[in-house]
Structure 1
Amino acid sequence: MANNKKKDKKFTRTMQKKLVVLFAGIIVVFIGLNVRIAQINAKSGDEYTKSVLSQQEYTSTVLPYRRGDIVDRKGTVLATSERVFNVILDTKQLLATKDEAHINKVISSLVSCFQLDEAQIRQYISENPDNAYYILKKQLTKDDKDAFEDLFREKKDDKTKAADKKDADDTKADEAKDSEAEDGAAVADADTDTEVPEEEEEEVSSVSIKGVWFEKDYVRKYPYGSLAADEIGFTSSGNVGNGGMEGYYNSTLNGINGREYGYLNDELELERTVKEAIDGNTLVSTLDVNIQSIVEKYIREFNEAHRDEARPGDGSKLTAVMMMNPNTGEVLAMASTPEWDLNNPRDLTPFYSEEEIAAMDDETRMDALNKIWRNFCISDTYEPGSTSKPFTIASGLETGKLNGNETFVCDGKQVVPGAPKGIACVNRYGHGLLTIEGAINVSCNDALMQMAAIIGTDNFCRYQEIFGFGQKTRIDLPGEANTSGMLYTADKMKPVDLATNSFGQNYNVTMIQQISAFCSVINGGYYYQPHMVSRILDASGGTVQNIDPILLKQTISEKTSATLKQYLYTTVSGEKGTAKKAAVPGYKVGGKTGTAEKYPREDRNFLVSYLGYAPFDKPQVVIYVVIDEPNVEEQNHASSLACEMASGILSEVLPYMNIFPTEEIPEDTAQDGQQDPASPQTDPGAQDGQEPQDTGTDGQSPEEGGQDGQTPEDGQDGEGADSQAPEDGGPEDEEDDGIPYSPPDTQQSQEPDQNQVEE
């Protein structure tokens, strides 16, 4: 025992010193660490805090921007974005409640309100317990959202309802006391309704339901359906504009999404940071809803009136109308068939049977849709026919090659190099002696060919370029055709080409080119760039940009313009004018008709048109009507249909524009060519001592009515064609009367570059 005690070691003084030193060292190390941590925190504390928080669980919600509206010139909404909601299921939050009663309430409410499948919801919850974002249903209206929340509220117990009611009553009582304390001015203001902002209204009306929330979104709507579909365009998913102003101004209409972040801070409190969305800009277009509606009404009535008349189908293969302000280049209306619904742009059922649609593959389906969406007014080309004659005459007067006092003898045809048997006039027996004004009144091809020979190839081609043919107008719409290869150049134009070009055959134009050039002919010679948008507004209505008219050039002098304006006026008002049916009772108007025979010539299909202006003294509107293959027995006698449509449209549009009649209105307006735009076509025929209406054909072979092998230079104008086939016989359909000539490839009708939409 004594020996064991001797072996025990004592806690010596030396050991105490070592222990003190050890503890002191540890304390120094801790102090050093604390000092270093303090230094790091002072220098980079925020950075490390954010780094740590970024690794914690947080939520991030996109706040969608609102795409800007498209409105007409008077503010009528053509395209808008309406608020909708996507119902989101947060399974993680729902299960975190660990409240079976609550979970069942949520599921039953979703099923009953949105007609969802309960089994599928429960399966998703069980298979995805950690998912915080699952879209159950898209594009719900606010009424749908409110109905769900109301349905959920109805499942609260009576005590909760009573408590809510008591709180509401107390709030109303407090508000009543505050109201009594207000002065007289405040009492007076109480009679005025106060508008509650949409965001605040939603916050007040919303109810918090754990596990389910509503994501805000927008859906594009078009209040007028098919109205101005080609010009407006539509959007696909992701706010991508397709066609029309929606496509051209896509980046202007789009905004920037915002975002809401939620995360736990260093004190484990939920914090939210919101970066607000920036809404898109609004386009104020040059269109007028009322004028557009009138135009589309007449197109619709025309197609119904002539449906199945000469062949099964609509009243024409295609009908198009444009109206512009000649003094600014603003497009007032633009329409072409077929009609299609902007709210359902991919619906093929109005155009194809169910069997045809079912048989389509994806490529065929997209081809069909692109044909429907195609804007004829800017994307398709055609031979203009006699509506081009004013440009030929204007170039002659402007260059001084013509002085306006010349006379020309029409003997029924014109012999030119390359056409030894001659190119026929609309009147096979000849119009006789004609002035320049008389030539355009009766639409004499022979006289125009003689004028073109005097003008010369160089001048003619130069003025085609001055008037903008062969060039894009740069209108603010996608898909404008490229016609640069569809005109002859001076070095390649032969005498026969010059002859046929003089009356609108053997070269191609677009409607937007033709009407823009015509505006300069009757407005003093000023060529304005055509445009669809006049102003851009921000989301609050402030002006971002004014888009003023752009004067590009002066094509002809004011003197030449005044002369042409007079010639066109007598073409409508004169006794022998071919456009008499374009007259508008009470107004002085002017214009020119056209009838162009299409390729292949032997098919005898025609495109008829009318291009005119109103009123005579100060033109405020130009109208261009094109009817492709009218559904009538004799298409080459159908240009009066275009005149009648233009007359009907102007008879409604001019009073609407506050352009009032200046002439006495005859009791029987039918005597002046005014009739129901939907009335059947009547063939006026050739009358003694009077030239017939515009009923001939552009593009027929010389001295014949359009046999196989017809050529573009073998053209006949569309005016007065009854004379080419007189009842007592004549040179119609004589064998081998034409010339076997085909234009170069660059002159053929081509499909323009088109911004096609891929689904």
Structure 2
Amino acid sequence: MAAKGPNNLMRSRIVMLTLAFVAIGFGLVAVRLLYMQVFRNDFYVQQATTLQTRDTLVTPNRGTIYDANMQVLAESASVARITVNPKAVIDESKVNKGIPAEQQQQELAQILADTLELDYDTVLGKIKRTDTQYQIIAQKVDKDTENALYEKLEAAGCGNAVYSEPDTKRYYKYGAFLSTVLGYVNDDNVGVYGLESEYESELAGTAGRIVRAQNAKNQDMPYDYQQYIPATDGNSLVLTIDSDIQNILEKHLETALADNPNARDGVSGIVMDVKTGAVLAMANLPDFDPNQPRVISDERYLNELKETVQKLLEEAGVSAEIPDKYYQEGGLDNLPESVQNNEALVDALTDARTEELYKMWYNPVVTDTYEPGSTFKLMNVATAYELGVVHAEDTFYCGGSMMVGDWKEPIKCHNTNGHGSQTLTQAVMNSCNVAMMQIVAKTGRERFYDFFKAFGMNSRTGIDLPNESPGIFFDVEDSTSWNEVSLAVSSFGQRFQVTPIQMASMISAIVDDGRLKKPYLVREVLNADGSIKSTAETEVVRQVISEDTSAYMRDTMLQVVESGTGKNAYVPGYRVGGKTATSEILKEAEDVEDRYTASFIGVAPMDDPQIVVLVAISDLPESSPHGGGALAAPVVGRIMEDVLPYIGVTPVYTDEENDRRELTVPGVVGSTQEQAASTLQQAGFAYRVVGSGDTVTDQVPASGVRIPASGKVILYMGEDKPAEQIEVPDLTGLTPDECRDTLEQYGLYLKQKGVASSQITGNTTASRQSPAKGTKVNIGAVVTVEFSDTTGVDDR
């Protein structure tokens, strides 16, 4: 019997089911397409674009930073960023020829690691990230290295997945010069610290883009499929910093640091234009090289880090030798394997090293606060004088100490024997604490704090640098904090803290007719095309004291240097004024003796103030020399001596300074003794004769040489002067007269620096000389000797 086929009803049902399935299928597809193309259109377009294109950022050229004379301090240069598309590394045609995919990855990793000096395993790990099309292999690659890389890749036939993107690298032309002011940029060209951070929005510019289409093999399509959006370069900065003045400041701070190796927090200094608030120089030592900001090279920081690391190893119970490379450069790879495996210890070591880096990067002139000590007495006196509660003719008695309020112990003056009766000016010259407490008591707490605020000492100055501190003062709302005793110690700058930039601004206001100005570092902002975008102008914040008070303070500050505790800042021919300070600082837990900051603030010339110079030598132990008058004042004097003639201030010598004046020696060879004597006398020189000929056959010094007016010219009559060179003697510790006599015996001349002749005592001795002892020089050479004095320079 034949099998029955489907009847018509079954056929109809099959057709209906088929049509239903088809309708449902197309419906689902339609719904999915609607969902993808309407509701999730942006998402899928982005996904498709990601697969079909490669988007590269074009780094803009960061703006240049110039000094006041348009010398380049920081600039950017074109370099390359090397990237890899891991999905395009494996060439299937090579796989078909028997070269495994893994071997291709390893070969490329080896070439990249060797040429770019990278870790092979790290590079290989990035190449194996086939879940992405973009891996950065190296940044800031110079052109020579980039070209060498592509030559090797071409020779090996494995460069299809390697790309070179335009990038920029920041170069700091003079290394560590001005580093704590400039700051640095990180690997992403973003400013960190300093002006680089403060002016990031001006310097950075706007990144551009290169969008390239790619084919199915992840290879770039022809240029017709490329879109280029150019980068906009950043604006440039013109600073108020004068590189020549900055060099002077850094040179003398280096000497100060070398002379005071126990200064735990190093040395800081600032030179500022009194009349405008423009910062001409600012430096802190030790410093760092912004070209290698994470490298620690200074022995001070390295030794601190080594001590901390050893403690951490002992606490962790780990015995390991940490190589110097880790201390200098950091990095997990530079640690012994036994340490690398201890995650907690690695974190602690990293934190310790980071703390030292922060010390390098910070700018203490604006970020760190300190107890100003006796330099603050100038504000105390200016306030009282302005209020009329004290006058120039008033007298103050100091018996060596004074009882204040309910304080159980007498508050001492640095001169515990007392200064006796003294005028207001003499009290400042003597840096008398007792007189300052008597003066501030006349002012009172409320008015003293009013002027403290008016001078800007409780707020940031607004200088264009990041991380500025506002200072730390007593809680004036709390009578247990702000009372009679705290007012007394405030009168001589103790138990509160301010920043060096606040002090420099305050002193500038005191000597510049009472006008407080906002300090600044950037004079102009330039557009990318070099045109001027903006120019800084002097900003007078407020009038704090009168011109009359300012005039009195200028004269008083002059007396401090000419006859008081600041005698070591004296510069012949210039009217330098200032104030010394030796301020106590809080001891750290491990300290066994008291610590101090030695500082000096100088202003010159006092008849028309142009510059203020502050130098602080920070965190000195009591067992070391630590007086501001002995340590910091000479440094300011050296800076003044170099800067004042540079900015065009002509020295004017008084009659008392004739021994410091330098004169040009006239030529008298061929003259008779009588003729030579007359010529030398007219030029202002004495002379002595060697030999008995009729005419002068030679002379020392030679014609045209400048020597001190007190020097004698040697006339050789019929004899030749000695041809052999002379070894400079050691003059350290000798008095000025002893130095002059010693050098005369050698046929050398003394150029005397430091301490006015009228202030020389038995304790005035040579502290440094140039040329150094043992140096070979010709007869008639001038030896410069700096003298310092320890009498009457105490200022605590």
* Length-normalised TM-score, structure 1: 0.68
After superposition, the Cα gap between the structure-2 partners of 1:683 and 1:427, relative to the gap in structure 1 and judged at 3 Å, is farther
C-alpha displacement of 1:521: 0.3
Give the structure 2 partner of residue 347 of structure 1: 295
1:286-308 Cα deviation digits (max 9, x unpaired): 2222222222222222222343x
Q: Contact 1:294–1:653 (CA<8 Å) still a contact in 2?
A: yes
Please give the alpha-carbon distance, in whole angstroms, between the structure 1 residues aligned to 2:47 and 2:413. 89
1:431 to 400, 419, 426: 419
- 1:549-698 equivalent positions in 2, closer than 5 A: 549-574=538-563, 577-600=564-587, 603-630=593-620, 633-637=623-627, 639-663=629-653, 665-666=660-661, 667=708, 668-672=752-756, 676=768, 684-685=789-790, 692-695=791-794
Please give the alpha-carbon distance, in whole angstroms, between the structure 2 residues aligned to 1:609 and 1:581. 12
Which residue identity lines up with residue 520 of structure 1 in the other structure?
A: A
Q: Are positions 1:145 and 2:229 aligned together?
A: no
After superposition, the Cα gap between the structure-2 partners of 1:55 and 1:117, relative to the gap in structure 1 and judged at 3 Å, is closer
After superposition, the Cα gap between the structure-2 partners of 1:427 and 1:209, relative to the gap in structure 1 and judged at 3 Å, is closer
Q: Are positions 1:234 and 2:191 aligned together?
A: no
Give the structure 2 partner of residue 322 of structure 1: 270
Give the structure 1 partner of residue 64 of structure 2: 69
Q: Contact 2:569–2:755 (CA<8 Å) still a contact in 1?
A: no
C-alpha displacement of 1:671: 4.6
1:538-567 Cα deviation digits (max 9, x unpaired): 222122221222211011111111110010
Structure 2 counterpart SS, 1:246: helix
C-alpha displacement of 1:525: 0.8
Give the structure 2 partner of residue 451 of structure 1: 439
2:462 to 447, 453, 474: 474
After superposition, the Cα gap between the structure-2 partners of 1:639 and 1:681, relative to the gap in structure 1 and judged at 3 Å, is farther
2:256 to 277, 281, 302: 302
Give the structure 2 partner of residue 290 of structure 1: 244
Please give the alpha-carbon distance, in whole angstroms, between the structure 2 residues aligned to 1:118 and 1:299. 45
Please give the alpha-carbon distance, in whole angstroms, between the structure 2 residues aligned to 1:681 and 1:670. 5
C-alpha displacement of 1:155: 11
After superposition, the Cα gap between the structure-2 partners of 1:654 and 1:567, relative to the gap in structure 1 and judged at 3 Å, is same
C-alpha displacement of 1:569: 0.6
Q: Which runs of 5+ in 1 are unaligned?
A: 1-46, 157-207, 308-313, 686-691, 696-716, 719-759
Please give the alpha-carbon distance, in whole angstroms, between the structure 2 residues aligned to 1:599 and 1:128. 54
Q: Contact 1:595–1:636 (CA<8 Å) still a contact in 2?
A: yes
Please give the alpha-carbon distance, in whole angstroms, between the structure 2 residues aligned to 1:481 and 1:507. 13
Structure 1 counterpart SS, 2:403: strand
1:199-223 Cα deviation digits (max 9, x unpaired): xxxxxxxxx9865542111122222
Which residue identity lines up with residue 216 of structure 1 in the other structure?
A: P
Q: Contact 2:558–2:578 (CA<8 Å) still a contact in 1?
A: yes
C-alpha displacement of 1:252: 2.1
1:8-52 Cα deviation digits (max 9, x unpaired): xxxxxxxxxxxxxxxxxxxxxxxxxxxxxxxxxxxxxxx9xx999
Please give the alpha-carbon distance, in whole angstroms, between the structure 2 residues aligned to 1:381 and 1:527. 20
Q: Are positions 1:514 and 2:503 aligned together?
A: yes
Greater alpha carbon shift after TM alignment, 545-554 vs 563-572: 545-554
- 1:461-540 equivalent positions in 2, closer than 5 A: 461-486=449-474, 488=476, 493-540=482-529
Give the structure 1 partner of residue 379 of structure 2: 391
Q: Tell me the matched-pair count.
A: 580
Please give the alpha-carbon distance, in whole angstroms, between the structure 2 residues aligned to 1:317 and 1:372. 11
Q: Which runs of 5+ in 2 are unaligned?
A: 1-41, 216-220, 307-321, 328-334, 336-344, 662-707, 709-751, 757-763, 773-784
1:241-279 Cα deviation digits (max 9, x unpaired): 2211122222222121111223499x9993322111111
Q: Contact 2:373–2:583 (CA<8 Å) still a contact in 1?
A: yes
C-alpha displacement of 1:60: 2.5
* Length-normalised TM-score, structure 2: 0.65
Structure 2 counterpart SS, 1:603: coil
C-alpha displacement of 1:677: 9.4
1:425-456 Cα deviation digits (max 9, x unpaired): 23333222211111111112222222122222
Please give the alpha-carbon distance, in whole angstroms, between the structure 1 residues aligned to 2:434 and 2:126. 81
Structure 2 counterpart SS, 1:472: coil
Give the structure 1 partner of residue 73 of structure 2: 78
After superposition, the Cα gap between the structure-2 partners of 1:336 and 1:323, relative to the gap in structure 1 and judged at 3 Å, is same
Q: Contact 1:568–1:591 (CA<8 Å) still a contact in 2?
A: yes
CA RMSD between the two structures: 3.9
Please give the alpha-carbon distance, in whole angstroms, between the structure 2 residues aligned to 1:129 and 1:444. 76
1:277-332 Cα deviation digits (max 9, x unpaired): 1112212222222222222222222222343xxxxxx4554211111111111222
1:164-197 Cα deviation digits (max 9, x unpaired): xxxxxxxxxxxxxxxxxxxxxxxxxxxxxxxxxx
Question: Relative CO higher for 1 or 2, CA cutoff 8 Å, sep ≥ 6?
Answer: 1
Q: Contact 1:472–1:513 (CA<8 Å) still a contact in 2?
A: yes
1:67-120 Cα deviation digits (max 9, x unpaired): 22222222222222221113345677787896999x99x979878865789999
- 1:713-752 equivalent positions in 2, closer than 5 A: 717-718=795-796
Give the structure 2 partner of residue 373 of structure 1: 361
2:206 to 256, 260, 263: 256
1:641-688 Cα deviation digits (max 9, x unpaired): 101111111212222222232225354334538964999999845xxx
Give the structure 2 partner of residue 221 of structure 1: 171
Q: Contact 1:644–1:677 (CA<8 Å) still a contact in 2?
A: no
Which residue identity lines up with residue 370 of structure 2 in the other structure?
A: Y
C-alpha displacement of 1:65: 1.3
Structure 2 counterpart SS, 1:416: coil
After superposition, the Cα gap between the structure-2 partners of 1:370 and 1:136, relative to the gap in structure 1 and judged at 3 Å, is closer
Give % identity. Answer: 30
Q: Contact 2:565–2:792 (CA<8 Å) still a contact in 1?
A: yes
Please give the alpha-carbon distance, in whole angstroms, between the structure 1 residues aligned to 2:508 and 2:120. 65
Q: Contact 1:380–1:510 (CA<8 Å) still a contact in 2?
A: yes
1:618-661 Cα deviation digits (max 9, x unpaired): 21110111112346845454531101111111212222222232
Please give the alpha-carbon distance, in whole angstroms, between the structure 1 residues aligned to 2:478 and 2:409. 24
After superposition, the Cα gap between the structure-2 partners of 1:273 and 1:617, relative to the gap in structure 1 and judged at 3 Å, is same
Q: Contact 2:257–2:285 (CA<8 Å) still a contact in 1?
A: no
Q: Contact 2:570–2:754 (CA<8 Å) still a contact in 1?
A: no
- 1:151-230 equivalent positions in 2, closer than 5 A: 212-230=162-180
Q: Contact 1:486–1:508 (CA<8 Å) still a contact in 2?
A: no
Q: Contact 1:669–1:675 (CA<8 Å) still a contact in 2?
A: no
After superposition, the Cα gap between the structure-2 partners of 1:122 and 1:625, relative to the gap in structure 1 and judged at 3 Å, is closer
Structure 1 counterpart SS, 2:410: strand
Q: Are positions 1:336 and 2:284 aligned together?
A: yes
C-alpha displacement of 1:524: 1.0
Please give the alpha-carbon distance, in whole angstroms, between the structure 2 residues aligned to 1:389 and 1:52. 70
Which residue identity lines up with residue 469 of structure 2 in the other structure?
A: A
Structure 2 counterpart SS, 1:270: helix
Please give the alpha-carbon distance, in whole angstroms, between the structure 1 residues aligned to 2:278 and 2:112. 51
Please give the alpha-carbon distance, in whole angstroms, between the structure 1 residues aligned to 2:122 and 2:406. 79
1:274 to 228, 241, 244: 228
Please give the alpha-carbon distance, in whole angstroms, between the structure 1 residues aligned to 2:384 and 2:196. 42
Please give the alpha-carbon distance, in whole angstroms, between the structure 2 residues aligned to 1:533 and 1:74. 13
